[in-house]
Structure 1
């Protein structure tokens, strides 16, 4: 059996004195990146639970959903384009290291001069990579500010699909936990590993970005691979039965991955992420009868089968009627309104998480679902689905949408000379 080794052991074995990636011109960045690659290659063969960082698409989208989340949105507080690019290079270097189980910087948490701040915060020392993935995106506000001004010379590169989401009936959005210029989704099997990653990116970005809001999540509410069982949300129902799966390659090309033909070359191989923080009024839900709960979802609570079938993955039969002559699945049931046949064939890849953020001071749990869904074009996928749900879904009595975000998630970082967002800034 392979022996697990700690981050500190990996760092020592791979050369704690290796230099940090240069953060000046792109050429210097690439030269230093080759040294970084050699360090990671020497360490990776001994690491367990590491998800490869480089690839055609960013990890953390079709990657089998991990159990823990730390999502963060940032505001860019500099007007200096060069500083922003430098930070993205630094972030990429740190992300490569942390997803491989290394400290955020080559000198680590304890290997640098005692008189200088450490290059890593240290709370993940001794922990394995825990399948950490870091997924990066950019919001519409990075292209133009609230006054319509081109902030970094990027306005002409804003994809048409990255338009502000419309206001949906019932929205109770809080501006301070919505939007954002940049986002990072950290997913891992260990919450401390995910928090460590976000904390170090925020530390590296100090003076260039500030945290707008962040969200911790637990207990994935979707399966993104056929190897995973369907999990449950905090209402006790299986969630995401019909989710897109990593193995459905043709469906992913159709519904998930952006293409150059969509109008933004730099987004080819990327995707669009919609986030929605959905608070559940759990106290009211918990006083609702089982039969009514099942009617609201259109599925039974135990197996997760549609009320017209017996197995979880049975295709719903919306025309089937019960002994009373009424449809077994109501027209306002969640399963029917969200179904692709009701929304022009639209499908999403969901990666949501449960959350409990304490109480609201009135003895009620502040709990619910942090919804995250990836797609090729939100205008044709999330927006029509959410319009249906917002107008007619009887589940709305028990939920409140309190935050919203939309981010363009670029394609993957191809190699050590590449970095997050390079195609946008080239």
Structure 2
């Protein structure tokens, strides 16, 4: 799983890595290129204090008293977690949300196939509905015929991102406008892909710092699809909640590794060139957009946890406690790939994940990793069905993800502990303009 992006503290710095994935977690100021966060106009009732919380837990009369006390209080401003709003339209942000924004605590990724009788006009109508609903939800407003699932919450950093799969262009008769970057990914030796949980005509990524807000968006968009598209697959994930650590820091993945140290940063001069499609792209409708590679990667946690910390560090190439490279320093210290130990062998082993995935080992190839962890219960043998919903962004998947994954496929020490079980590649157009919808230049151009 291409980790080059072990990351450095992504867009704010929650997309991280030195292991297979897992974003950083702390809430921090958005980077210059990232969409600004603003306070929503919505408000909600104040939270219950310690005594009130205890009453709610006890139940019965205690719960009723605490609930009455809350309802009797005058409304207070939303907390910072609930109040943050991510812009939807191009007037406020160049790219779709959910790419350079800090990672959220809860997320869903879902793919749809257009209905059998759907055509280009039907696809446009669906994307128009979805864009309208996403804009309302991301602003903390309630769409018509709403379920009231998140009625009391603010935007909670909700982001909704839309992508188009390779098959979308066949279904809509737009094959001549399909970018070559959407050519199917090659097969990799570690792949054990389930076609029922891969690909799809349309893809949606949802993220929010409140789980109910995230589910609310998923449910609303699913309802919008009725008659126009049918669900192909859906996966849910999570990250550390903003503010859960004493200071902003890179998150850990389910293997316990600090994960995301080397992500490209929006402040870097070549960031846009690496992550977003340039103005010289053949397909004009994709200029300012990006390509998302999505992989469901199960971690063999039982096998991993049998290894000593020393063995785990050799496999990754970084210290487990602080994420520093084995050659010394802190988490952000560059790896010294030429440093040898007293026995003459490289301090960072030749097959260490961090070494193989490093940009300097891949002609500078870089991608922006923005994953979620997942846990889907336990398998028949009792092993956790858990791992990474790996999502990475790049201007050209062939030069970024494919190049890195081929390298990892040939000798990454971490590969025996991973199983790639689902995959998808999607073209993600730029943000919708005022009054328009995502993908409009393609479908109406």
TM-score, length-normalised on structure 1? 0.82
Deviation at 1:268, TM superposition (A): 0.2
Q: Which residue of 1 aligns with 2:276?
A: 257
Deviation at 1:251, TM superposition (A): 2.3
- SS of the aligned residue for 1:58 comes to coil
**Tell me, which stretches of 5 or more residues in structure 2 are unaligned?**
1-38, 46-81, 242-246
- SS of the aligned residue for 2:410 comes to helix
Contact 1:220 1:351 in 2 (8 A): no
Contact 2:40 2:139 in 1 (8 A): no
CA–CA separation in structure 1 for the residues paired with 2:240 and 2:325:
21
Counterparts of 1:321-360 in structure 2, within 5 Å, are 321-360=340-379
- SS of the aligned residue for 1:296 comes to helix
Q: Which residue of 2 aligns with 1:136?
A: 162
Q: Comparing both chains, which one has the higher relative contact order based on Cα–Cα distances under 8 Å and sequence gaps of 6 or more?
A: 2
Deviation at 1:246, TM superposition (A): 3.0
Runs in 1 of length 4+ with deviation above 2 angstroms?
2-8, 78-81, 245-248
- SS of the aligned residue for 1:262 comes to coil
Q: Which residue of 1 aligns with 2:118?
A: 79
Deviation at 1:7, TM superposition (A): 8.0
Contact 2:191 2:421 in 1 (8 A): yes
CA–CA separation in structure 1 for the residues paired with 2:293 and 2:195:
15
- SS of the aligned residue for 2:239 comes to strand
Q: Relative to structure 1, is the Cα distance of residues 330 and 289 closer, same or farther in structure 2, using a 3 angstrom cutoff? A: same
Higher mean Cα deviation, 212-221 or 298-307? 212-221
CA–CA separation in structure 2 for the residues paired with 1:309 and 1:389:
24
Contact 2:266 2:272 in 1 (8 A): no
Contact 1:243 1:349 in 2 (8 A): yes
Counterparts of 1:186-205 in structure 2, within 5 Å, are 186-205=206-225
- SS of the aligned residue for 1:98 comes to helix
Q: Deviations over 1:331-378 (max 9, x none)?
A: 100001101122121111110011000011221100001100000000
Deviation at 1:208, TM superposition (A): 0.8
CA–CA separation in structure 1 for the residues paired with 2:133 and 2:44:
14
Q: Which residue of 1 aligns with 2:25?
A: none
Counterparts of 1:7-26 in structure 2, within 5 Å, are none
Task: Count how many residue pairs are aligned between Structure 1 and Structure 2.
Answer: 362
Q: Deviations over 1:381-425 (max 9, x none)?
A: 00010001111001111110000000000001121x210110110
CA–CA separation in structure 1 for the residues paired with 2:240 and 2:288:
25
Q: Which residue of 2 aligns with 1:21?
A: none
Match of 1:58 among 86, 93, 96: 96
Deviation at 1:238, TM superposition (A): 0.9
Contact 1:280 1:398 in 2 (8 A): yes
CA–CA separation in structure 2 for the residues paired with 1:397 and 1:311:
27
Counterparts of 1:189-268 in structure 2, within 5 Å, are 189-219=209-239, 229-248=249-268, 250-268=269-287
Contact 1:7 1:102 in 2 (8 A): no
Match of 2:399 among 360, 363, 380: 380
**Tell me, which stretches of 5 or more residues in structure 1 are unaligned?**
9-46, 106-118, 145-150, 222-226
- Pairing 1:95–2:134 present: yes
Contact 2:301 2:384 in 1 (8 A): yes
CA–CA separation in structure 1 for the residues paired with 2:41 and 2:395:
39
Match of 2:438 among 404, 420, 426: 420
Deviation at 1:104, TM superposition (A): 2.5
Contact 1:160 1:263 in 2 (8 A): no
Deviation at 1:6, TM superposition (A): 4.6
CA–CA separation in structure 1 for the residues paired with 2:118 and 2:324:
53
Counterparts of 1:150-169 in structure 2, within 5 Å, are 151-169=171-189
Contact 2:373 2:387 in 1 (8 A): yes
CA–CA separation in structure 2 for the residues paired with 1:373 and 1:285:
24
Counterparts of 1:17-56 in structure 2, within 5 Å, are 48-55=83-90, 56=94
Q: Deviations over 1:13-37 (max 9, x none)?
A: xxxxxxxxxxxxxxxxxxxxxxxxx
CA–CA separation in structure 2 for the residues paired with 1:424 and 1:158:
10
CA–CA separation in structure 2 for the residues paired with 1:297 and 1:69:
26
CA–CA separation in structure 1 for the residues paired with 2:248 and 2:266:
11
CA–CA separation in structure 2 for the residues paired with 1:73 and 1:386:
23
Q: Relative to structure 1, is the Cα distance of residues 321 and 3 closer, same or farther in structure 2, using a 3 angstrom cutoff? A: closer
Deviation at 1:273, TM superposition (A): 0.1
Q: Which residue of 2 aligns with 1:16?
A: none
